[in-house]
Amino acid sequence: MKLTLGAVADRFDLPLHGDPSIEICGIANILEAQQDELTFLFNPAYKKHLTTTKAAAVVLCRDASSQCDKPCLISERPRLIWADIAELFDATPKPDGRQHPSSIIGNNVVLGDDVSIGAHAVIESNAVIGDHSTIGPGSVVGANVRIGQNSRLFANVTLYHDVMIGNNVIIHSGAIIGADGFGFEFDDVRGQHIKIPQVYGVVIADEVEIGAGTTIDRGALNHTEIGIGVKLDNQVQVGHGTRIGAHTVISGCTAIAGSMTIGRYCLIGGAVGIIDNITITDNVEITAMSLVSKSIKTKGRYSSGTGLMPGKEWKRNIVGFKQLANLLRRVRRLESGNGNS
């Protein structure tokens, strides 16, 4: 894949400083880009690398361009243009619009135009798959599943029965959607936990992306719902009946319990925990590895935890943590003038 700078500039309507005939073969970060690669300046802290980068050219905002001797493409939103340019160099294999002969298609399955079904994929009975959608090799699509148009399941995805997937949805390998929610009731007569059948499904709206190994359970008394434009990273867990609002982004390994609601346009960090039966309003940001243990009613940024410390220092401080309630009392007593009593 080779493109001239001029072709890139024309395609995305970007002002170009420099020779339009320069050829680029790829993109790379500013520290490692080679002579035939295009790079980007996203962060002003990296300006110092403009003089040393080997890159053929740099995408940056007008302000920074004055400090750049290299050929450059001007954009006030270099990260958005990055998305466009990266697509030109994306080598992800395109679906071929065919059903591999080793795939197994159940009774009454309805396939739209140009549906691709990979080797050893299994589509169970009564599933409906929309035009231009793709089922990766080894994936299993359960009975009665509905998948919209232009959606793509990569290899080894599992959808249980009655899951609904919208249009333009991407589901990465190992994701599992529609497994039974974790619902048991302890029967003290029998001394054991009784399973509560999870009779609802999962509804995934359009434009959702679901990461590798992410699990979204089916609901018990309502569908689990993932709103339009939601992006879930790898190894996220979404409990039964939970609802995630449109355009919320959730980083890897976050554990979300069941029967809770997250608003729209939230940013949930990685490895966060969120308990059941609470509500998080719109536009909430949760920093990495925080535990959300009650509802959040006001937008803003929230955290829990302690900072990282060298082990010895940390050990001394957690001794203090275990005496905090006591310490509070002692300070109160000192304030009342009884410190020595």
Catalytic residue positions?
Answer: 240
Residues 44-63 within binding reach of a second copy (CB under 8 A): none
Position 181, amino acid: G
* CA–CA separation, 258 and 251 (whole Å): 18
Looking at 145, 160, 205, 260, which residue binds a second copy (CB under 8 A)?
A: 160
Scanning 8-16, 58-66, 108-116, 137-145 for contacts with a second copy by CB under 8 A, the matching segment is 137-145
Decide: 16 and 22 in contact? Cβ < 8 Å: no
Residue 24: other Cβ atoms inside 10 A: 25
Q: How far is the CB of 117 from a second copy (least distance, A)?
A: 12
> Is 13 near a second copy (CB under 8 A)?
no
CA atoms within 13 A on the CB side of 46: 14
> Is 124 near a second copy (CB under 8 A)?
yes
Q: How far is the CB of 217 from a second copy (least distance, A)?
A: 7
Interface with a second copy: number of residues (CB under 8 A): 136
Residues 236-275 within binding reach of a second copy (CB under 8 A): 237, 239, 241, 247, 249, 251-253, 255, 257, 270-271, 273, 275
Listed as own residue / partner, the contacts of 6-9 with beta carbons closer than 8 Å and 24 or more positions apart are 8/38, 8/73, 8/85, 8/88, 9/73
Q: How far is the CB of 221 from a second copy (least distance, A)?
A: 4
Pairing of strands 23-24, 37-40: unpaired
Residue 2: other Cβ atoms inside 10 A: 9
Looking at 21, 83, 107, 297, which residue binds a second copy (CB under 8 A)?
A: 83
Looking at 215, 224, 245, 263, which residue binds a second copy (CB under 8 A)?
A: 215
How far is CA 54 from its chain centroid?
32
Scanning 11-19, 68-76, 108-116, 193-201 for contacts with a second copy by CB under 8 A, the matching segment is 193-201
* CA–CA separation, 132 and 118 (whole Å): 13
Looking at 66, 87, 107, 297, which residue binds a second copy (CB under 8 A)?
A: 87
